[in-house]
């Protein structure tokens, strides 16, 4: 029995009495690399925000390593969507990543220790962004900014990484670059990615969940055509995304089917 | 003018208040333009006019009434903003006008000749009293201490509220605290530029500073320097030509912003 780091039971979220998430059951094991796919508006971001305690669920239970959200989320590194950002904010790359070192522990007149700075520079080196550590964040490409946000999340030394659409609006090269980075990080850290980008699923993730109000998940990357049809409404949309069930199976080298 | 400053207490007070105003404008102004709270601050400023009216009516120092109204309205705005889905803009619009209305109502209740409100509306830095200076000093110390002592936390909160919340920062506290600081800043500025002109003094110095730097801390320092330079030169011009100080300062700083923005290419001529 593998150790589970996130356990969600019977989760329901309503917004103005419209159900956003319905009866969600999800168990994520340690060092899993999980993709949550689904159409826009399917509740992916909501689910992540519930796990982070940013949205209060109407019912259900979320445990992070057996802890309640308030304690458990300290183990989570959060990488929000870059589209939510004010890219004009007068701050440079290094200062953004240092923010990952902030927690509820610092008191008055806090300044970052040399240890913090060394740690953060190590992260920047790993992510290949050390060269522009003094650059204002609005002057980065999308892929660079995404790496900065991953760096900030890693600076908190998390055990779990949650990413919301990390490859939206990136070109193909930066996209595979981000997934390669995540794959490396996955050696140590559990990763959950919410995405509607289906192209990378086969080669990088080890499990896939489909979310459109309801969650379809079997603990591996084999999603049945039924699940996909239900989630996306119609199979044509899937073909337009360039992915089908067969492709998923082939790329993984794993031939077992449900 | 130097001899005049040494000789006349009212000029010394004007000088001190201009410098103190620049400090809070540099700090809070930078924060409100980054956080898109400019209109919110304008709303708090205008609501405080109700307090000025109340002060006159109850025969207490109008600035205490203004302080009370500014704090009260800022807390109400944050609370309503958090609890309901009313759009902030709508809320500000209503509070803005209601504050002014309350002020005018109180003034109309007064017996005899109504007081001259123009120094509160448009500022009159040359009539700043010793008492005003003391109040301003206390408020400036509170604002400076609040921001510098928690600077890294503020920066994280301002840059990304959700991330900070997940990391365990009490973002509720920071939001309420920020609005209280905006209210205090408004009170510091009332005697210098007046309620109506406050927004320009809050936004123009940081906006000019942003033309020259991409660093948060440097923006604040530059904004303080620009603010001090323009409010002192505005003060000097208004003394020299006997023109209203608030308007002089605002026009000077506003025109400078547009010229510099044009020269640095932030505002482009369409070809």
Q: What are phi and psi of B261, to 5 degrees?
A: -60, -40
Could you tell me where the DSSP H helices lie in A20-90?
Answer: 44-51, 69-72
State mean pLDDT over B220-225.
97
Candidates A99, A160, A161, A164, partner chain B, best to mutate (most B CBs within 10 A): A99
Which pLDDT does position A248 carry in this prediction? 44
Least CB–CB distance from A73: residue in B152, B166, B170? B166
For residue B82, is pLDDT > 70?
yes
Residues A26, A8: Cα–Cα separation, whole Å: 5
Unique residue bearing structure tokens 């620049």: B22
Q: Given strand A207-212, what is the order of strands in its sheet?
A: A76-79, A160-164, A190-195, A33-37, A207-212, A214-216
> How far, in Å, CA of A196 to CA of A165, rounded?
7
CATH classification of the domain holding B101: 1.10.3470.10
Q: For residue B63, what are the domain limits?
A: 2-263
Minimal C-alpha gap between B265 and chain A (Å): 16
Which among B142, B207, B130 has a CA at the least distance from the CA of B181?
Answer: B142
User: Are A152 and B163 within 8 A, CB to CB?
Assistant: yes
- Rounded to whole angstroms, the Cα distance separating A4 from A6 reads 6
Q: Annotate B51-88 with DSSP letters as a single string.
A: HHHHHHHHTS-HHHHHHHHHHHHHHHHHHHHHHS---H
- Work out the average pLDDT over B45-70: 94
- State residue A203's pLDDT score: 77
pTM, to two decimals: 0.89
Low-confidence ranges of chain A (pLDDT < 70): 1-2, 200, 202, 219-258
Q: Which residue do the tokens 């900030």 mark?
A: A152
Tell me if A139 sits within 8 A of A93, measured CB to CB: no
**Model confidence pLDDT, tens digit, residues B95-124:** 999 999 999 999 999 888 878 888 899 888
Domains of chain A in start order, with CATH, are 4-89+158-252 (3.40.50.300)
The overall average pLDDT reported for chain B is: 91
Contacts of B186 (CB under 8 A, 6+ apart): B41, B44, B45, B48, B66, B70, B195, B198
Residues of A in contact with B159 (CB under 8 A): 86, 89, 91, 96, 99
Predicted pLDDT of residue A255: 40
Q: Nearest to residue B174, comparing CAs of B188, B159, B160, B153?
A: B153
What's the pLDDT score for residue A242? 39
A50, HSE (Cβ side, Cα atoms, 13 Å): 28
The answer to whether the complex's ipTM is over 0.90 is no
Q: What CA–CA distance (Å, rounded) separates A246 from A235?
A: 13
Average pLDDT over residues B176-183: 96
| pLDDT above 90 (res B152) | yes
Residue for token pair 């205490």: B64
Q: Do B216 and A89 touch (CB under 8 A)?
A: yes
The answer to whether A131 touches A56, Cβ cutoff 8 Å, is no
**Binding-site residues on chain A for chain B (CB distance < 8 A):** 52-54, 73-74, 76, 78, 80, 85-86, 89-92, 95-96, 99-100, 102-106, 108-112, 136, 138-139, 152, 156
| pLDDT value at residue A235 | 41
Q: What is the pLDDT of residue A1?
A: 53
Q: From CA A166, how far away is CA A175, in angstroms rounded?
A: 8
- In the prediction, which pLDDT does B8 show? 86
Nearest to B152 among A104, A110, A156 (CB): A110
In this prediction, residue A231 carries a pLDDT of: 63
Substitution target from A91, A98, A112, A113 for chain B, most B beta carbons within 10 A: A91
In a domain, B270, yes or no: no
Confidence at residue A245, expressed as pLDDT on a 0 to 100 scale: 40
Distance from CA of B223 to the nearest CA of A (A): 13
Q: So what's the pLDDT on residue A105?
A: 83
pLDDT digits over B85-98, tens only? 777 788 889 999 99
Instruction: Work out how many domains chain B is built from and give that number.
Output: 1
Least confident window among A133-147, A201-215, B50-64, B67-81? A201-215
Cβ distance of B156 and A104 shorter than 8 Å = no
């Amino acid at each position: 029995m593998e150790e589970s780091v996130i356990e969600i039971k019977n989760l329901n979220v309503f917004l103005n009495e419209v159900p956003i998430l319905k009866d969600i059951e999800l168990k994520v094991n340690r060092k899993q690399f999980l993709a949550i796919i689904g159409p826009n508006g399917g509740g992916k971001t909501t689910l992540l925000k519930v796990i982070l305690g940013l949205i209060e669920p109407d019912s259900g239970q979320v445990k992070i390593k057996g802890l309640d959200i308030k304690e458990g989320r300290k183990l989570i590194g959060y990488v929000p969507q870059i589209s939510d950002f004010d890219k004009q904010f007068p701050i440079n790359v290094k200062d953004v990543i240092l923010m990952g070192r902030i927690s509820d522990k610092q008191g008055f007149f806090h300044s970052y220790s040399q240890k913090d700075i060394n740690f953060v520079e190590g992260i920047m080196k790993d992510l290949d962004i050390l060269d522009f550590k003094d650059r204002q964040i609005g002057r980065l490409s999308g892929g660079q900014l995404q790496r900065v946000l991953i760096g900030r999340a890693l600076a908190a030394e998390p055990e779990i990484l949650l990413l919301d659409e990390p490859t939206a609006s990136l070109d193909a090269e930066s996209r595979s670059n981000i997934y390669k980075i995540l794959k490396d990080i996955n050696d140590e850290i559990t990763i959950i990615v919410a995405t509607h980008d289906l192209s990378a699923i086969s080669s990088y993730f080890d499990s896939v969940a489909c979310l459109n109000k309801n969650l379809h998940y079997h603990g591996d990357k084999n999603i049945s055509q039924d699940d996909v049809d239900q989630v996306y409404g119609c199979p044509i949309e899937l073909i337009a995304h360039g992915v089908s069930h067969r492709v998923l199976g082939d790329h993984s080298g794993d031939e077992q089917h449900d | 003018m130097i001899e005049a400053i040494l000789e006349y207490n009212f000029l010394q007070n004007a000088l001190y208040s201009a410098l103190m105003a620049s400090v809070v404008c540099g700090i809070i102004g930078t924060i409100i333009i980054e956080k898109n709270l400019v209109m919110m601050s304008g709303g708090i400023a205008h609501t405080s006019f109700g307090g000025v009216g109340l002060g006159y009516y109850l025969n207490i120092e109008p600035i205490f009434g203004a302080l009370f109204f500014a704090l009260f309205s800022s807390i109400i705005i944050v609370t309503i903003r958090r609890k309901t889905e009313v759009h902030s803009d709508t809320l500000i619009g209503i509070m803005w006008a209601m504050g002014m209305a309350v002020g005018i109502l109180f003034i109309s209740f007064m017996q005899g000749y109504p007081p001259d409100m123009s120094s509160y509306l448009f500022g009159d830095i040359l009539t700043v009293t010793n008492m005003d200076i003391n109040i301003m000093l206390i408020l400036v110390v509170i604002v400076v201490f609040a921001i510098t002592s928690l600077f890294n936390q503020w920066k994280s909160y301002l840059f990304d509220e959700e991330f900070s919340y997940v990391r365990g920062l009490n973002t509720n506290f920071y939001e309420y605290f920020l609005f209280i600081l905006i209210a205090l800043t408004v009170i510091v500025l009332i005697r210098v530029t007046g309620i109506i002109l406050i927004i320009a003094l809050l936004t123009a110095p940081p906006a000019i500073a942003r033309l020259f730097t991409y660093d948060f801390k440097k923006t604040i320092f530059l904004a303080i320097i620009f603010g001090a330079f323009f409010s002192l030169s505005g003060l000097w011009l208004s003394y020299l030509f006997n023109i209203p100080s608030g308007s002089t300062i605002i026009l000077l700083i506003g025109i400078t912003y547009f010229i510099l923005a044009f020269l640095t290419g932030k505002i482009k001529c369409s070809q």
